Amino acid sequence: MVEIAGTAPPRFAAVKDAFAANFEAGLELGARFTLVEAGEVVLDIWAGHADRAGTRPFGPRTLVPIFSTTKAIAALLVARLVDQGKLAYDQTVASVWPAFAQAGKGQVTVEQVLSHQAGLSGFPEPMDPAEWFDWDAICARLAAMAPLWPPGTASGYHPITFGYLAGEIFRLVEGRTMGTALAEDLARPFGLDLWIGLPDAEFDRVCELQRPSALPNFGHHNPATKAAFLTPWSQPGGRSQAEWRRMEIPSANGHVAGDSLARLMGALANDGWLDGEDILSPSLIAEAARERTRGQDLVLPFEMSWGAGFMRNEATHPWGPGDRTFGHSGWGGSCAFADPERRLGGAYVMNKQSTQLLGDDRPRRLIEAAYASL
């Protein structure tokens, strides 16, 4: 029997049982699940090991790579700029990044970029995978690139390029990188253990990953999917793991403690209030989560509903029954969500990765049990 640590009130006994069942079925190495209701942490449980050898316990200070779940943090950071009047979702990207107007992209808007409609899901031409570690070079490639489909006509998931697009827009408007702004404006003031760009001093807290033995099933292999996932250069490579951790890629390399991620999403579910302070206005939360596009994604094998950087629950319901719930999932199974109707936010993080692209069965069981317990 796995030993589950943390806090699980009696009303969430079914969640704890589902968590234990995931381990007993051999589906987990280490994992954590946290719920925040009306601004209060009401469930926070963890178990297992932080390393593949089983010598380090998965604990409350364990940092977990969350891959694309990082995009939820990036979407929040952009939303804060909009809330402050520094940026508008409907303005063109070229209005803040003039070089982006190349190759017919002059009318592409910020919200089209954030909702994966820009046609820049990846680079079709060969490149050195190590170039991903050169921020300016990747941004120059994106600015010069012709879209893979007419922008605004469909969504096609941008797994890595999203972070450079959103991050460069943010940097040009705000003056700081997303990782710096996250640390200075949210993480340190609110005691949130959230990082985009991890300092060396934190490396020993990061869990080891047990990667899946196969690639996910993308369903279709069109040019947009190939550019996004299926070329040797579609992901960063050729550099050390330490360089990957240090690099700021706001689409893919966030490192978090699960309770901090849940607290951030809990604020989005609670009119923007985090520890008694307003981090985002209720009207802007609704605007960020508002649907920008819906339909069969050109990259992912799902019908997707996208807000301004957030996945919307309404199309596929990976995070409970709420149509207004929004959040993001990450490669391997992590997820974070905010349900403003129930004032419920949550996060699931783990280090044994699955091949499921969206709606991983492990957190789905936990979230379903949680809603049944409310």
Tell me the pLDDT of the chain (374 aa) as tens digits: 899 999 999 999 999 999 999 999 999 999 999 999 999 999 999 999 999 999 999 999 999 999 999 999 999 999 999 999 999 999 999 999 999 999 999 999 999 999 999 999 999 999 999 999 999 999 999 999 999 999 999 999 999 999 999 999 999 999 999 999 999 999 999 999 999 999 999 999 999 999 998 888 888 789 999 999 999 999 999 999 999 999 999 999 999 999 999 999 999 999 999 999 999 999 999 999 999 999 999 999 999 999 999 999 998 999 999 999 999 999 999 999 999 999 999 999 999 999 998 999 999 999 999 999 99
131 torsion bin: left (phi>0), alpha (psi -120 to 50), beta (else): alpha
List the structure tokens of 332.
Answer: 């391997």
133 sits in which H/E element: none
How much is the pLDDT for 214? 85
- With contact defined as beta carbons under 8 Å apart, do 123 and 145 qualify? yes
CB atoms closer than 10 angstroms to residue 85:
7
Q: Residue 342 sits in which domain range?
A: 5-373
How much is the pLDDT for 216? 86
CA distances (Å), origin 331, targets 113, 187, 251, 271: 20, 23, 11, 28
pTM of the model: 0.98
Q: Which residues contact 175 (CB under 8 A, 6 or more apart)?
A: none
How much is the pLDDT for 98? 98
CB atoms closer than 10 angstroms to residue 342:
18
Counting the structural domains of the chain, the total is 1
* Pairing between β-strand 64-67 and β-strand 5-7 as defined by DSSP bridges: unpaired
- With contact defined as beta carbons under 8 Å apart, do 317 and 324 qualify? no
* Pairing between β-strand 311-312 and β-strand 293-296 as defined by DSSP bridges: unpaired
CATH code where residue 74 lies: 3.40.710.10
Supply the DSSP string of 147-167, one letter for each residue.
Answer: PSS-TTS-----TTHHHHHHH
Tell me which amino acid residue 125 is.
E
Nearest to 163 by CA among 241, 254, 261: 254
How much is the pLDDT for 219? 84
